[in-house]
Chain A
Amino acid sequence: MKEFVYDVFTRKERGDRLQHVGYVDAFDDETAKVYAWTTYDEEKWFEMCVVKRTNVLPVNRTDGLFVEAQKAAHV
Protein backbone atom coordinates (compact mmCIF):
# COMPACT_ATOMS: atom_id res chain seq x y z
CA MET A 1 0.00 0.00 0.00
CA LYS A 2 1.44 3.34 -1.03
CA GLU A 3 2.17 5.97 1.56
CA PHE A 4 3.15 9.60 1.22
CA VAL A 5 5.25 12.04 3.21
CA TYR A 6 3.33 14.87 4.87
CA ASP A 7 5.21 17.75 6.46
CA VAL A 8 3.85 19.03 9.76
CA PHE A 9 3.61 22.72 10.64
CA THR A 10 2.54 24.23 13.94
CA ARG A 11 2.20 27.45 15.83
CA LYS A 12 2.01 27.52 19.61
CA GLU A 13 0.25 30.83 20.04
CA ARG A 14 -1.92 32.96 17.82
CA GLY A 15 0.44 35.31 15.99
CA ASP A 16 3.44 32.97 16.23
CA ARG A 17 5.22 31.98 13.05
CA LEU A 18 4.11 28.70 11.55
CA GLN A 19 7.08 26.39 12.04
CA HIS A 20 8.05 23.10 10.49
CA VAL A 21 8.23 20.51 13.27
CA GLY A 22 8.62 17.24 11.37
CA TYR A 23 6.85 14.85 9.08
CA VAL A 24 4.73 11.69 9.05
CA ASP A 25 4.18 8.91 6.53
CA ALA A 26 0.49 8.38 5.79
CA PHE A 27 -1.68 6.88 3.08
CA ASP A 28 -4.17 9.75 2.86
CA ASP A 29 -4.93 13.22 4.18
CA GLU A 30 -7.13 11.98 7.02
CA THR A 31 -4.57 9.61 8.47
CA ALA A 32 -1.87 12.24 8.01
CA LYS A 33 -3.84 14.63 10.23
CA VAL A 34 -4.35 12.00 12.93
CA TYR A 35 -0.75 10.82 12.82
CA ALA A 36 0.55 14.39 13.02
CA TRP A 37 -1.73 15.29 15.92
CA THR A 38 -0.83 12.20 17.94
CA THR A 39 2.88 12.22 17.10
CA TYR A 40 3.71 15.88 17.64
CA ASP A 41 1.71 16.29 20.82
CA GLU A 42 4.47 17.73 22.99
CA GLU A 43 2.77 21.13 23.03
CA LYS A 44 -0.76 22.42 23.22
CA TRP A 45 -0.72 23.83 19.70
CA PHE A 46 -2.86 26.75 18.70
CA GLU A 47 -2.68 25.49 15.13
CA MET A 48 -1.36 22.47 13.29
CA CYS A 49 -1.37 21.84 9.53
CA VAL A 50 -0.06 19.09 7.32
CA VAL A 51 1.10 19.48 3.72
CA LYS A 52 1.64 16.61 1.35
CA ARG A 53 5.29 17.00 0.41
CA THR A 54 4.57 16.59 -3.29
CA ASN A 55 2.43 19.73 -3.09
CA VAL A 56 5.40 21.85 -2.05
CA LEU A 57 6.87 23.43 -5.18
CA PRO A 58 10.59 24.23 -5.01
CA VAL A 59 11.32 27.76 -6.15
CA ASN A 60 15.08 28.17 -6.22
CA ARG A 61 16.61 24.78 -5.43
CA THR A 62 17.32 21.98 -7.86
CA ASP A 63 18.11 19.44 -5.14
CA GLY A 64 16.89 18.59 -1.65
CA LEU A 65 13.88 16.89 -0.07
CA PHE A 66 11.19 18.82 -1.90
CA VAL A 67 12.79 18.37 -5.30
CA GLU A 68 13.18 14.65 -4.60
CA ALA A 69 9.51 14.46 -3.66
CA GLN A 70 8.55 16.12 -6.94
CA LYS A 71 10.69 13.69 -8.90
CA ALA A 72 9.28 10.69 -7.06
CA ALA A 73 5.71 11.86 -7.69
CA HIS A 74 6.31 11.96 -11.42
CA VAL A 75 8.04 8.61 -11.78
Chain B
Amino acid sequence: MSETLDTSTLEGANRDALVRLIISLADSKRLMGIRYSDWTLGAPSIETGVSTASMTQDEWGHARLLYAMLKQLGIDPSPVEHDRPGEEFASLSALDHERGDWVGTVALIALADEALSTMLRSFAEGSFEVARTRVPKMLAEEEFHASLGAAWYRRLAAAEGEAAGLLRSATEEMLPGLLAWAGANDAAARAMVDAGVIGPAEDRLSAFRDAVRDLVALVGMDINTVEPATDWDEVRGRASGRPDEEACERARGDRNRALLVE
Protein backbone atom coordinates (compact mmCIF):
# COMPACT_ATOMS: atom_id res chain seq x y z
CA MET B 1 0.00 0.00 0.00
CA SER B 2 1.18 3.53 -0.83
CA GLU B 3 2.15 6.12 1.74
CA THR B 4 -0.70 8.40 2.78
CA LEU B 5 -1.26 11.37 0.52
CA ASP B 6 -1.05 14.75 2.24
CA THR B 7 -3.95 16.56 0.60
CA SER B 8 -2.96 19.88 2.19
CA THR B 9 0.07 20.00 -0.08
CA LEU B 10 -1.81 18.97 -3.20
CA GLU B 11 -2.16 21.84 -5.64
CA GLY B 12 -2.56 22.79 -9.27
CA ALA B 13 -2.91 19.98 -11.79
CA ASN B 14 -2.54 17.26 -9.18
CA ARG B 15 -5.40 18.62 -7.10
CA ASP B 16 -7.55 19.02 -10.23
CA ALA B 17 -6.77 15.42 -11.18
CA LEU B 18 -7.99 14.10 -7.83
CA VAL B 19 -11.14 16.23 -8.06
CA ARG B 20 -11.75 14.83 -11.55
CA LEU B 21 -11.33 11.26 -10.36
CA ILE B 22 -13.69 11.68 -7.40
CA ILE B 23 -16.37 13.41 -9.47
CA SER B 24 -16.17 10.83 -12.24
CA LEU B 25 -16.64 8.02 -9.74
CA ALA B 26 -19.43 9.83 -7.88
CA ASP B 27 -21.30 10.90 -11.02
CA SER B 28 -21.10 7.36 -12.36
CA LYS B 29 -22.50 5.94 -9.15
CA ARG B 30 -25.35 8.43 -9.17
CA LEU B 31 -26.22 7.75 -12.82
CA MET B 32 -25.91 4.01 -12.25
CA GLY B 33 -28.46 4.33 -9.47
CA ILE B 34 -30.83 6.14 -11.82
CA ARG B 35 -30.48 3.47 -14.50
CA TYR B 36 -31.12 0.73 -11.92
CA SER B 37 -34.09 2.58 -10.47
CA ASP B 38 -35.82 2.44 -13.84
CA TRP B 39 -36.16 -1.31 -13.28
CA THR B 40 -37.48 -1.44 -9.73
CA LEU B 41 -40.86 -1.92 -11.39
CA GLY B 42 -41.03 -3.93 -14.57
CA ALA B 43 -38.01 -6.15 -13.97
CA PRO B 44 -38.42 -9.78 -15.06
CA SER B 45 -39.48 -10.92 -11.58
CA ILE B 46 -40.42 -9.41 -8.24
CA GLU B 47 -37.15 -10.63 -6.77
CA THR B 48 -35.17 -8.96 -9.55
CA GLY B 49 -37.06 -5.71 -9.01
CA VAL B 50 -36.33 -5.84 -5.28
CA SER B 51 -32.66 -6.40 -6.07
CA THR B 52 -32.48 -3.45 -8.45
CA ALA B 53 -34.18 -1.29 -5.81
CA SER B 54 -31.55 -2.39 -3.32
CA MET B 55 -28.74 -1.76 -5.79
CA THR B 56 -30.17 1.70 -6.48
CA GLN B 57 -29.87 2.51 -2.80
CA ASP B 58 -26.33 1.15 -2.74
CA GLU B 59 -25.26 3.26 -5.71
CA TRP B 60 -26.74 6.46 -4.34
CA GLY B 61 -25.15 5.80 -0.99
CA HIS B 62 -21.81 5.28 -2.68
CA ALA B 63 -22.29 8.49 -4.65
CA ARG B 64 -22.90 10.50 -1.48
CA LEU B 65 -19.79 9.07 0.14
CA LEU B 66 -17.71 9.82 -2.93
CA TYR B 67 -18.97 13.39 -3.36
CA ALA B 68 -18.24 13.96 0.34
CA MET B 69 -14.58 13.12 -0.32
CA LEU B 70 -14.33 16.53 -2.00
CA LYS B 71 -14.42 18.07 1.48
CA GLN B 72 -10.91 16.69 1.97
CA LEU B 73 -9.87 19.13 -0.74
CA GLY B 74 -11.78 22.06 0.71
CA ILE B 75 -14.61 21.76 -1.82
CA ASP B 76 -18.27 21.98 -0.80
CA PRO B 77 -19.88 18.96 -2.51
CA SER B 78 -23.39 20.44 -2.53
CA PRO B 79 -23.03 22.62 -5.67
CA VAL B 80 -21.23 19.77 -7.39
CA GLU B 81 -24.15 17.46 -6.67
CA HIS B 82 -27.01 19.83 -7.29
CA ASP B 83 -26.01 22.71 -9.57
CA ARG B 84 -23.88 21.44 -12.46
CA PRO B 85 -25.08 21.44 -16.06
CA GLY B 86 -25.26 18.08 -17.82
CA GLU B 87 -22.26 18.78 -20.05
CA GLU B 88 -20.08 18.80 -16.93
CA PHE B 89 -21.18 15.36 -15.75
CA ALA B 90 -18.24 12.97 -15.77
CA SER B 91 -20.14 9.68 -15.57
CA LEU B 92 -19.33 6.65 -17.68
CA SER B 93 -20.46 6.96 -21.30
CA ALA B 94 -22.34 3.67 -20.96
CA LEU B 95 -24.73 5.50 -18.62
CA ASP B 96 -25.52 8.36 -20.99
CA HIS B 97 -28.90 7.05 -22.06
CA GLU B 98 -31.66 4.96 -20.58
CA ARG B 99 -31.48 1.29 -21.48
CA GLY B 100 -34.75 0.46 -23.13
CA ASP B 101 -34.66 -3.21 -22.27
CA TRP B 102 -33.60 -5.50 -19.46
CA VAL B 103 -30.82 -6.96 -21.62
CA GLY B 104 -29.05 -3.61 -21.81
CA THR B 105 -29.44 -3.15 -18.07
CA VAL B 106 -27.86 -6.53 -17.46
CA ALA B 107 -24.90 -5.43 -19.56
CA LEU B 108 -24.68 -2.31 -17.39
CA ILE B 109 -24.67 -4.36 -14.19
CA ALA B 110 -22.14 -6.87 -15.47
CA LEU B 111 -19.80 -4.53 -17.35
CA ALA B 112 -20.20 -0.88 -16.32
CA ASP B 113 -20.54 -1.63 -12.61
CA GLU B 114 -17.47 -3.86 -12.93
CA ALA B 115 -15.48 -1.01 -14.53
CA LEU B 116 -16.39 1.14 -11.55
CA SER B 117 -15.36 -1.57 -9.12
CA THR B 118 -12.06 -1.99 -10.94
CA MET B 119 -11.27 1.68 -10.46
CA LEU B 120 -12.53 1.63 -6.87
CA ARG B 121 -10.29 -1.33 -5.99
CA SER B 122 -7.33 0.62 -7.29
CA PHE B 123 -8.51 3.73 -5.39
CA ALA B 124 -8.94 1.73 -2.15
CA GLU B 125 -5.37 0.46 -2.37
CA GLY B 126 -3.89 3.88 -3.03
CA SER B 127 -2.60 6.78 -1.00
CA PHE B 128 -5.85 8.73 -0.46
CA GLU B 129 -6.77 7.97 3.13
CA VAL B 130 -10.53 8.40 2.94
CA ALA B 131 -10.67 6.07 -0.06
CA ARG B 132 -8.84 3.43 1.94
CA THR B 133 -11.37 3.65 4.75
CA ARG B 134 -14.64 4.20 2.84
CA VAL B 135 -14.30 2.25 -0.38
CA PRO B 136 -13.90 -1.32 0.96
CA LYS B 137 -17.51 -1.35 2.26
CA MET B 138 -18.70 -0.18 -1.16
CA LEU B 139 -16.79 -3.00 -2.79
CA ALA B 140 -18.31 -5.53 -0.38
CA GLU B 141 -21.79 -4.37 -1.41
CA GLU B 142 -20.77 -4.49 -5.05
CA GLU B 143 -20.09 -8.23 -4.79
CA PHE B 144 -23.85 -8.81 -4.84
CA HIS B 145 -24.22 -6.59 -7.91
CA ALA B 146 -21.50 -8.54 -9.67
CA SER B 147 -23.12 -11.87 -8.80
CA LEU B 148 -26.49 -10.73 -10.09
CA GLY B 149 -25.00 -9.21 -13.25
CA ALA B 150 -22.93 -12.28 -14.08
CA ALA B 151 -25.81 -14.70 -13.45
CA TRP B 152 -28.20 -12.74 -15.65
CA TYR B 153 -25.53 -12.21 -18.32
CA ARG B 154 -24.93 -15.99 -18.49
CA ARG B 155 -28.63 -16.66 -18.58
CA LEU B 156 -29.33 -14.23 -21.42
CA ALA B 157 -26.26 -15.29 -23.40
CA ALA B 158 -27.56 -18.87 -23.35
CA ALA B 159 -31.17 -17.92 -24.07
CA GLU B 160 -32.92 -18.71 -27.30
CA GLY B 161 -34.41 -15.92 -29.40
CA GLU B 162 -33.07 -12.41 -29.70
CA ALA B 163 -31.68 -11.97 -26.18
CA ALA B 164 -28.13 -13.11 -26.95
CA GLY B 165 -27.92 -10.82 -29.99
CA LEU B 166 -29.17 -7.85 -28.02
CA LEU B 167 -26.69 -8.63 -25.26
CA ARG B 168 -23.83 -8.72 -27.73
CA SER B 169 -24.93 -5.39 -29.25
CA ALA B 170 -25.10 -3.73 -25.83
CA THR B 171 -21.70 -5.19 -24.92
CA GLU B 172 -20.10 -3.99 -28.16
CA GLU B 173 -21.51 -0.53 -27.61
CA MET B 174 -20.36 -0.19 -24.00
CA LEU B 175 -16.95 -1.76 -23.92
CA PRO B 176 -14.81 0.85 -25.75
CA GLY B 177 -15.86 3.64 -23.38
CA LEU B 178 -15.45 1.41 -20.33
CA LEU B 179 -11.97 0.28 -21.43
CA ALA B 180 -10.92 3.90 -22.01
CA TRP B 181 -12.17 4.87 -18.57
CA ALA B 182 -10.80 1.91 -16.61
CA GLY B 183 -7.44 2.27 -18.35
CA ALA B 184 -7.33 6.08 -18.35
CA ASN B 185 -3.79 7.19 -19.07
CA ASP B 186 -3.91 10.89 -19.86
CA ALA B 187 -1.95 13.52 -17.94
CA ALA B 188 -4.45 13.71 -15.08
CA ALA B 189 -4.61 9.95 -14.70
CA ARG B 190 -0.81 9.69 -14.73
CA ALA B 191 -0.64 12.40 -12.06
CA MET B 192 -2.86 10.23 -9.86
CA VAL B 193 -0.66 7.22 -10.52
CA ASP B 194 2.45 9.23 -9.65
CA ALA B 195 0.80 10.37 -6.42
CA GLY B 196 -0.04 6.78 -5.56
CA VAL B 197 -3.79 7.48 -5.56
CA ILE B 198 -4.53 4.77 -8.14
CA GLY B 199 -2.49 2.04 -9.77
CA PRO B 200 -0.92 2.12 -13.26
CA ALA B 201 -3.19 2.23 -16.30
CA GLU B 202 -2.01 -1.13 -17.60
CA ASP B 203 -2.86 -2.78 -14.27
CA ARG B 204 -6.36 -1.29 -14.21
CA LEU B 205 -7.00 -2.17 -17.83
CA SER B 206 -5.72 -5.69 -17.34
CA ALA B 207 -7.85 -6.13 -14.21
CA PHE B 208 -10.98 -5.00 -16.03
CA ARG B 209 -10.29 -7.23 -19.04
CA ASP B 210 -9.74 -10.20 -16.70
CA ALA B 211 -12.96 -9.48 -14.81
CA VAL B 212 -15.20 -9.48 -17.89
CA ARG B 213 -13.27 -11.84 -20.19
CA ASP B 214 -15.30 -15.00 -19.53
CA LEU B 215 -18.62 -13.20 -19.65
CA VAL B 216 -18.15 -11.41 -22.97
CA ALA B 217 -16.78 -14.64 -24.46
CA LEU B 218 -20.30 -16.01 -23.97
CA VAL B 219 -21.52 -13.63 -26.69
CA GLY B 220 -18.58 -14.47 -28.94
CA MET B 221 -16.33 -11.55 -28.06
CA ASP B 222 -12.62 -11.61 -27.25
CA ILE B 223 -11.99 -8.80 -24.77
CA ASN B 224 -8.35 -8.58 -25.85
CA THR B 225 -9.39 -7.48 -29.33
CA VAL B 226 -11.69 -4.68 -28.18
CA GLU B 227 -9.96 -1.31 -28.35
CA PRO B 228 -10.63 1.54 -25.90
CA ALA B 229 -12.56 4.52 -27.23
CA THR B 230 -10.35 7.28 -28.61
CA ASP B 231 -12.81 10.18 -28.28
CA TRP B 232 -11.49 11.05 -24.83
CA ASP B 233 -12.50 14.17 -22.93
CA GLU B 234 -9.53 15.13 -20.74
CA VAL B 235 -11.47 17.73 -18.79
CA ARG B 236 -14.01 15.26 -17.42
CA GLY B 237 -11.96 12.06 -17.72
CA ARG B 238 -14.44 10.08 -19.78
CA ALA B 239 -15.32 9.37 -23.41
CA SER B 240 -17.12 12.17 -25.24
CA GLY B 241 -20.85 12.74 -24.85
CA ARG B 242 -23.04 13.46 -21.85
CA PRO B 243 -26.02 11.97 -20.00
CA ASP B 244 -29.50 12.79 -21.25
CA GLU B 245 -31.05 15.85 -19.65
CA GLU B 246 -33.77 13.98 -17.79
CA ALA B 247 -31.18 11.86 -16.01
CA CYS B 248 -29.21 14.99 -15.10
CA GLU B 249 -32.35 16.58 -13.66
CA ARG B 250 -32.95 13.49 -11.56
CA ALA B 251 -29.30 13.32 -10.49
CA ARG B 252 -29.32 16.95 -9.40
CA GLY B 253 -32.74 16.66 -7.77
CA ASP B 254 -34.13 19.57 -9.79
CA ARG B 255 -37.75 18.67 -9.15
CA ASN B 256 -37.24 18.41 -5.41
CA ARG B 257 -35.10 21.50 -5.06
CA ALA B 258 -37.47 23.14 -2.59
CA LEU B 259 -37.15 20.09 -0.32
CA LEU B 260 -33.35 19.88 -0.43
CA VAL B 261 -31.90 19.25 3.01
CA GLU B 262 -28.16 19.13 3.54
Contact = CB atoms under 8 A, between A and B. Distances in A.
Interface of A: 1, 3, 24-28, 30-31, 33-35, 37-39, 41
A40 to B, nearest CB: 10
Interface string B147-160: 11011100100010
A32 to B, nearest CB: 9
Contacts of B147: 30-31, 33-34
B50 A30 contact: no
A30 B150 contact: yes
Nearest to B144: A34
A28 B147 CA distance: 11
A41 B51 CA distance: 11
Contacts of A3: 45
B50 A28 contact: no
Contacts of B45: 3, 25
A15 to B, nearest CB: 24
Interface in B36-95: 45, 47-48, 50-51, 53-55
A6 to B, nearest CB: 10
A41 B54 contact: yes
B155 A38 contact: no
B interface secondary structure, majority: helix
Nearest to A27: B155
A35 B47 contact: yes
B: contact size bracket: 10 to 19
A39 B50 contact: yes
25 contacts: A1-B155, A25-B45, A25-B47, A26-B47, A28-B151, A30-B147, A30-B148, A30-B150, A30-B151, A31-B148, A31-B151, A33-B144, A33-B147, A34-B151, A35-B47, A35-B50, A38-B50, A38-B51, A38-B53, A38-B55, A38-B144, A39-B47, A39-B50, A39-B51, A41-B54
B167 to A, nearest CB: 14
B137 to A, nearest CB: 13
A44 to B, nearest CB: 13
A65 B150 CA distance: 30
Nearest to A31: B151
Contacts of A35: 47-48, 50-51
B51 A34 contact: yes
Contacts of B55: 38
Nearest to A40: B50
A38 B51 CA distance: 5
